[in-house]
Amino acid sequence: MAVTTAVRVAGPAAVLAAFLAAGVAILVPAAGESVLPEGARSEWAPVVTAALAVLSAAGLQRTGSRRTAWMLAAASIVVLGSIRYLVPAGISADSLTVVGWVIAAITGVLLGAATAGSWGSATGQWALIAGGWAAFLTAAAVGSEVPVEAMRWTVPQWALAFALVATVAAALTVPAGMRVQRADPRLLAIMVTAAAVLSVGYRLLGEFVGSRASDTGVLLWLVAGGALAVAVVGAEIVARLVPPGDDRFVLAVTGAVAAAYPVLVELWSGMQSATVPWWVLLVAVAAVVAGVRLSPSMPYALPGLMLAASISAATVWWPSEIGEGIPLAVRVALVALGTGLALGASLPGSASVAALGLALPVPATAVVGAVWMLPADAQWSALALFAAAVICAWQVR
């Protein structure tokens, strides 16, 4: 009877663990003021997170144990939930920097462990992508405030608690013989290199665009367009180096970040000014899940990216007709649905490629956000992001 119960629980537990663990890996570093020490963030932390996500996924592929993967994910969640209480008050700035690097490393391990534990299972893969992308779309808007007065915990605190329960349940109920996908040493080397180069490149490109914000006219837009072009070309190079079947995911992620960013900023702004109700975040999460789940019926990334990019650009170009005429909740839902559909339609076959793709949205915002924040007409910034998203969409069609 116990064995039967464990078998019945194993599938739902693994799906829930994949969704929540990926969400925590994105949400906590981005919006975890209530669970992480203040001042521990580092702009370069995503580099460590991306590299360790790939390395931990590959290491778990070598061990071959899904139970080990979920146990490591659970241990990572415990550390993330405890680190604020372990760091003493009055700690120096240098020590806080070290803590920030530790947090980045643990986040990467968590993301890699969740990827290794769920990859190879269709439902687990979809749940992982949906959880990670939904967290990216909503993380900046969540912040550290309690969304409902009756809740005493913040969203990151609840996410950590539920993720811990789910990963422990997944580790305890994983069926015997369920093994992690085997690693490809050549692909591992490519992915680790790509993780470091892309995440460092995004940061440097973002700083370069920001440093040229005082430029005007054509030169300013040459800088912005060149930075976005370099980011897209970097994703294209990665696509050409990986095996067929893995070549669309990094490009799809790059296009999704560019397509969603304007509406993502609007959502964040509305939440910060309390003009947008908290349930809009639930709409975004539900729309991402729907998009990812619908992707097997529409296995093409082009329609999803074009939908999301068009909504974002139209909102900026026609603020009265689209921005005010269509409620934000509807626009958020359409962008989340389109990007979720695109990512679900571009799922790679290899766990290491999936880990890299899931780790890229946060560092990619360095360059995308820098272009968006240029002191110029927002319509042209939106058009630049639209062009980047369309190019990615065409490449992964």
| pLDDT digits 0-9 by tens, 228-253 | 999 999 999 999 998 888 889 999 99
Partner residues linked to 65 by β-bridges: 179
- Tell me, what's the pLDDT at 2? 47
Task: Please state, in angstroms and as integers, the Cα–Cα distance from residue 127 to each residue in 107, 133, 155, 180, following that order.
Answer: 18, 10, 19, 17
**What is the predicted pLDDT for the residue at 283?**
94
Amino acid at the residue 83? I
Give the CA distances from residue 188 to residues 195, 241, 362, in Å, rounded to whole numbers and listed in that order.
10, 12, 21
Percent of the chain with pLDDT over 90: 52
Map tokens 């993502």 to a residue: 264
Do residues 138 and 282 lie in contact, with contact meaning Cβ atoms separated by under 8 Å? Answer: no
- In whole numbers, what is the pLDDT of the chain averaged over residues? 87
pLDDT tens profile 137-176: 998 777 666 666 667 788 888 899 999 999 999 988 887 6
pLDDT recorded at residue 154: 83
Q: Look up residue 179 and give its DSSP letter.
A: B
- Identify the bridge partners of residue 179 per DSSP, sorted by sequence position: 65
More confident residue, 298 or 177: 298
pLDDT exceeds cutoff 60 at 258: yes
* Residue 182 in this model has a pLDDT that exceeds 60: yes
* pLDDT score for 323: 78
Q: How buried is residue 86: exposed, middle or buried, by Cβ count under 10 Å (0-12/13-18/19+)?
A: exposed
User: What percent of the chain shows pLDDT beyond 70?
Assistant: 94
CB-based contacts of 236, cutoff 8 Å, min separation 6: 251, 395
How does residue 179 score in pLDDT terms, banded at 50, 70 and 90? low
pLDDT at 379 over 80: yes
- Looking up tokens 């700690």 gives 91
Contact between 353 and 54 under an 8 Å Cβ cutoff? The reply is: no
Q: Which range in 58-72, 115-129, 260-274 is most confidently predicted, on average pLDDT?
A: 115-129
Report whether pLDDT(380) > 70.
yes
**Tens-digit pLDDT profile for residues 276-333:** 788 899 999 999 999 999 998 888 899 999 999 999 999 999 988 887 888 999 999 9
pLDDT of residue 397: 79
CA distance 289 to 309: 19
Sign of CA dihedral 330, 139, 362, 132: negative
Give 72: exposed, middle or buried? Use CB within 10 Å, 0-12, 13-18, 19+: buried
| Mean pLDDT within 102-122 | 91
Beta-carbon contacts of residue 179 (< 8 Å; ≥ 6 apart): 64, 65, 66
Complete domains list, the chain, with CATH: 1-173 (1.20.1250), 185-396 (no CATH)
Six-digit token pair at 347?
A: 């799922």
* Interatomic CA distance for residues 205 and 392, integer angstroms: 18
